[in-house]
Amino acid sequence: MFKFFTFLSFALSVSFTHAVVNDPVSKVKFALVYKGPGSCPEECSEAAAEMAELAGLSPKFIGPEEQNPQIFENAVVWIQPGGKSSKVAKTMNENLKNLIRQFVYNGGGYVGFCAGAFYATHIIGDTENIGLGIIAGRTQLYEEVNDSPEILTLNWLGKKQDVYWEGGPYFILPEEEQESSAIEVLATYPNATPASVKSTYGRGNVVLTGAHPEAPAWWSTVEKIIDPDGVDHNLAVAMIKMAVGN
């Protein structure tokens, strides 16, 4: 896997010339939000777009067949919403996958909620499907729950936060990455496994969570579950700002 990362990093550094740094003249900063097969029907893409707006960005929905590199002009972050990561991997065209990798490597941000976190690693969970490979380590389904969806109490940067969760991953991080602080654990599950992490890929930031801090209140209402501390949009917004370097 590490040979794969080394090769990919070299390839990206020599092959991608499109600038991802914002045009200083432009006042509009865009968040590109995936919307298509694999994004959950409960409006996961729309929830992610709302968080981008709260973070002061203008969201643009991008489908799996997009191949035009100009979509990244004035974009500062790619947001991959919840849903089915393997379906996204099978549906998104290879050119767009490479454009996302190049965008992040050259300074763009990546935020992954739940399925978007699964999708960020080289191998998606315990499947044989290939993800973006923009963060080291593996993802595995967090299974220490009685039901799904559920409200889980996470330790998020030292503070207890009750966050909506629905089939999301935990992260298995390489020891050398943890020792070198290349990957920062932002939040942990009740069993202390990593629930949210931040890393770098080239010059870009990758911020992931297995939970759904972007979840609108109606998700809990429909599922008849109670979130004691209410919606956690402040956490989702903080992830986006972290990804863009704010």
Domain edges within the chain: 2-243
- The four Cα atoms 48, 230, 198, 52 give a dihedral, to 10 degrees, of 30
Backbone angles phi, psi at 182, to 5 degrees: -70, -25
Which amino acid, residue 132? L
Residue 21 — pLDDT band, cuts 50, 70, 90?
very low
Global pTM reads: 0.89
| pLDDT per position as a tens digit, 80-102 | 999 999 999 999 999 999 999 99
2-243 fold = Rossmann fold (3.40.50)
Residue 103 confidence (pLDDT) above 70: yes
Tell me the per-residue pLDDT of 146-191, one tens digit each, with 9 for 90 and over. Answer: 888 999 999 999 999 999 999 999 999 987 765 556 899 999 999 9
∠ CA(114), CA(115), CA(120), 5° rounding? 100
